[in-house]
Structures are given as structure tokens and as C-alpha cells.
Amino acid sequence: MSFAFMLLAIDVGNTNIVLGVFDGATLVQSWRLQTVRERTSDELGLLVDGLFAHSRIERVRIRGVMLGSVVPPLTGTIRAMVQRYFGVTAITVEPGVNTLMPILYEVPSEVGADRIVNAVAAYEKFGQDSGRPLIVVDFGTATTLDAITAAGEYLGGAICPGVQISADALFQRAARLPRIDVRKPTRVVGRTTVSAMESGLFYGYVGMVEGLVRRMSDELGGNAVSVATGGLAEMIAPETTLIQHVDPDLTLHGLRIVWERNQT
């Protein structure tokens, strides 16, 4: 696989580091690594080098790198890796500085890079031609809901514990409850401890998301378009009619759009 020019987008999250290679606006390859804060730049470089080799993508084709990170201890490590293994300087997302989206948060620098690039991508893909406000629901380590005005301004949102965090908390804090994986149960009324926990976690999150989306949409005028992304989006979004779009690669596309804006 060989292109004249490619962009590498890197999303550093609390659970995973997601990398995506773009040819123009097309995401041609993506990978997901576990976030380990103690990894060195050389360890990450060797992992990334192996991923590129396995996919037959030449590292020398990468001429731009856009980095969004919510894990400060890894930000410098990733930048050092990019400089050494790709020979380019990564552009780091700085909310309110280089995202070119007005941020109405009281302290713009407090907004996570992932939330802003999600908002940028959602507005460009689903909002700017509709004339309607947007709500982005990201099912990540935390479940975040972000509101974007019809004019393309980042307004604010809500942050909730992620569903896996809640499952782990039940196991850790209740002596008789087991550790379970999050999945859709066959019925709402569980008849065993495990099925009751599965129901509470899964349908409880569906209800929480529906309630927050409905209330946020009312504050935005009642006609907001809702977009879901993140690891559990494709599992939970189909359970509610309040989410119109699911885009698992929304964050990577947001990084690409921010990079393109900074080139002009």
C-alpha cells in the first residue's frame, strides 16, 4: 500500500491509544493499543513500526501527525516517538487555540481534546448543513455528552462514569457481587444475580443516556441531532430512538479535520 501523502491521527485515551492513517479524507487503516502510561517512546515506536509493516504501509509516507491526548504523562512520550520514528513534529490539539471551533466553556482549556475533536467532526459531518444543534455521546472510559450549537460552537456537556467503571465498582464495593462483562441481556427482569447486574448496567445506561439526551435537546431548542461514538456505541445506540447516527471513527476524523484546518 503506497500513497504520495498520508496523515497519522493519534487519539490517546485513558483505556486505549487509537491510531488512524488517512489518505485524504479516507481512513485506510486504524489500530488500537492498550494505554500503558509507563511505556517509553521506543517501546511505542517498535509497536507502531510493527503495525505499519504488517499493514504494508511505509512510514516514510507519513508527512503529518495530529495528536489528541487526555493522558498528560503520555503526551510527551508520543511526541518523542513521532519525531524519532516518523521524522515529523506532531501537532497537538489545544482546545480554544488550534481547533478553530468557538468554545463557550467558562475555561476552554478544561475541555478534553477528544470532546472537542468529536464536536468538530460531528458538526462537519452531521450539523453544518442541517442548521440544527448537535449532541455527541461518547461511550468511552467515561460516558460524555457534548452539546454543539447550530452555529458550530462548543457549548458544554455532561460527564458520567463509563459503564465498565460502574461494573467494576459493583464488583469492588459489594462483597457478594461478581465481576461481569457488559452485554445486552435477554430480558430486563433478571432471574440470577449475574443477569440482574447485566440488566441494571445495560438498560440503566440506556435510560441514563436517553434522559440526558432528551434534557440537553430541550435546552438546545428541542430539535438536536444526536451522534454516538466510542467502544459501546454500536451496542447501546440501537436501543434508543434518540440517537440518529453512530460513527465509531468520529474522533479520528475530528483529528484529521483539525489538522487540515491548521494547514490553511
**Beta-bridge partners for 116:** none
DSSP string, 117-173: HHHHHHIIIIITTTT--EEEEEESSEEEEEEE-TTS-EEEEEEEE-HHHHHHHHHHH
Pick the catalytic residue from 23, 49, 114, 129: 114
Closest by CA position to 216, among listed 163, 156, 162: 156
Q: Distance between CA atoms of 209 and 203, rounded to whole angstroms?
A: 10
DSSP classification of residue 103: B
Burial of residue 12 (number of CB atoms within 10 Å: 0-12, 13-18, 19+) = buried
Q: Distance between CA atoms of 43 and 85, rounded to whole angstroms?
A: 11
Residue 146 vs residues 25, 80, 175, 190: alpha-carbon distances, Å: 24, 31, 35, 32
Residue pointed to by grid coordinates 489518505: 23
Task: Give me the amino acid identity at 40.
Answer: T
SS3 of residue 25 by DSSP: coil
Q: Is residue 114 flagged as an active site residue?
A: yes
Q: Distance between CA atoms of 18 and 28, rounded to whole angstroms?
A: 14
Enzyme catalytic residues: 114
